Each structure stands twice: as C-alpha cells, then as structure tokens.
Amino acid sequence: MNQEVFAAVNSALERGEPAALVTIVSTTGSTPQRVGAKMLVFGDGRMVGTIGGGCYENDAFGKARESILSRRPQLVHYELDDDFAQETGLICGGQMSVYIEPIEPSPELYVIGAGHVGYSLATMAHEVGFKVHVVDDREQFANRERFPNAAEVVTEDIPTWIARTPLPSHAYVVVVTRGHTNDLDAVRALVSRDLRYLGLIGSRAKVARIYTELKGEGVDIAAMKQVHAPIGLDIGAVTPQEIGVSILAELIAVKHGKVKGRDAAELSMKWAPARV
C-alpha cells in the first residue's frame, strides 16, 4: 500500500499539486495499522492509502486538509477507545500517533523580464529552491547562456505568452520588464489570475499610474489589492543585485506566511528600483 502512496507523492510533486502525507509514527496496544502506514490527502478530498479507516482516519483526513492550507505539520494522538469501537466495529483499545506533513512542490517562479534585476533574482531564486521560468521578448537577454539553471527560458512577446499559458495557482510571478508599457501589459494580463504571488517593480508614481490606467479599463480594484507593488521588502536596495535580494526576501516571506498581499490604497515607496 505504501508503494502506491509513494508513487502518488511523486506524481503530485511532478504536477506541482500540494498534498499532505499522513504517517503512523507510534502505536501502543492493539491498533488496526502498524507504524509506518501512510495515506496521502489532496486539497480536493482525494485520498491514496489508509491508516486504518474509521473515525480517527476521518479526523486525520480533515487535519491533513488543514495542513495543506496552513503549510504546517501536525502531530496528532488518538485513543482507540470505546467511541472508536462503536464507530468502526473494531475493538482495539490501543493508542496511536500520526504525523501530518504538508507536501509542497518546489515553488514555481515566473520572472517576467530578463534584464539585470530579472537576472539577479532568477539566479538567487534557483539557489534557494525555486523552479525558475524566465520570459522576455529579447533573445539577447532571454537565453540559456544567461539562465543555465532555469527550468524554462521563453523568448516571445510577453502578453502573447501570458495569454496562452496557464499558470498554476501556487505560482509566484514577478513583473520586472524594461519599461512602463511592458509592465502594464503584463499586469493587465495577470491581475485576474489565481496566483500565490504577483509583484510589480517600479516607483510609487509608476505603480500609481498603472493602477489608475487599469482601473480606468474596468479592472477590479479588489484584484489589484493582491499585487505586491512596489515590489520587495524595504531594505534600502539600490543596485539590481540588491533589488533582487529584496524581491527574493519578499517571496520567501510569502512562502512562509510572513507577508500577505498589500492594499493598493496603502502603497509606500522607500527606494526607487533601477531599470534594465
């Protein structure tokens, strides 16, 4: 049975689908499954494997779905007492602990713009475990020589690529193109997407202009509130390398639940990112 679970874990990671692995880590007395029994739970309710069935498995199933959302592991203890026996028809009388571990694929980062900031960000993001995709319409910037470790390097018109490419809901997208028009086109195409993170580089004034233009086009302001703009943590960054660090720091903070989407009405800017 665990072989089936391991295969499902591998498949989930390849698809980029979050899940939670539930494993029996200790038992005392009589229990329906031994230490090491596993089940894999998906956010949509699918389940592979079993830790024995009954009410405690149902409880572990619910806690596993919570762990998928919170991205935090749990250690849960069960007393297989008379209530359990009444629910399942099994008289066990033992005790059991299960470890619930969220399984997340390598976070996927789409760097829209392959200039100096994009290059610095993509290089560092790969080192900390992001699966990096780079998109730009300039072949002299978007090529394998500059981004040898990227999972994907795309040289194509940016709005065209965005329009034809489905992005997973766990994706991080950073818009760092070479100018206002390209940034506007990219954000316009991305703002309605369900994404883990969408960030836009630029000064406070430039970000405000883009927001005003999109609002004038009828874009939902609620969607704009989820855009991280100006992008990055305020560390006083000036050079492209420093700006890359500030953006990556924000991505890591979002990954670990330390930073959420910003309110478009509360934009603040303490540094002005350099352009490519």
Structure tokens at 10: 């591998």
For residue 140, the model assigns a pLDDT of: 96
Banded model confidence at residue 260, pLDDT cuts 50, 70, 90: low
- Note the pLDDT tens digit of each residue in 15-25: 878 899 999 99
Reported pTM: 0.73
- Domains, in order of start, for the chain: 2-103 (no CATH), 108-266 (3.40.50.720)
Helix (H) or strand (E) holding 272: none
Segment of 68-72, 136-140, 266-270 carrying the highest mean pLDDT: 136-140
Report whether pLDDT(261) > 70. Answer: no
In the sheet with 227-228, reading across from the earlier edge strand, the strands are: 152-155, 131-136, 108-112, 172-175, 197-200, 227-228
Tell me the CA distances in angstroms from 97 to 77, 102, 118, one per residue in order. Answer: 4, 17, 46
pLDDT on residue 83? 54
- pLDDT, one tens digit per residue, over 193-244 is 999 999 999 888 888 888 889 889 888 878 888 899 889 999 999 999 999 9
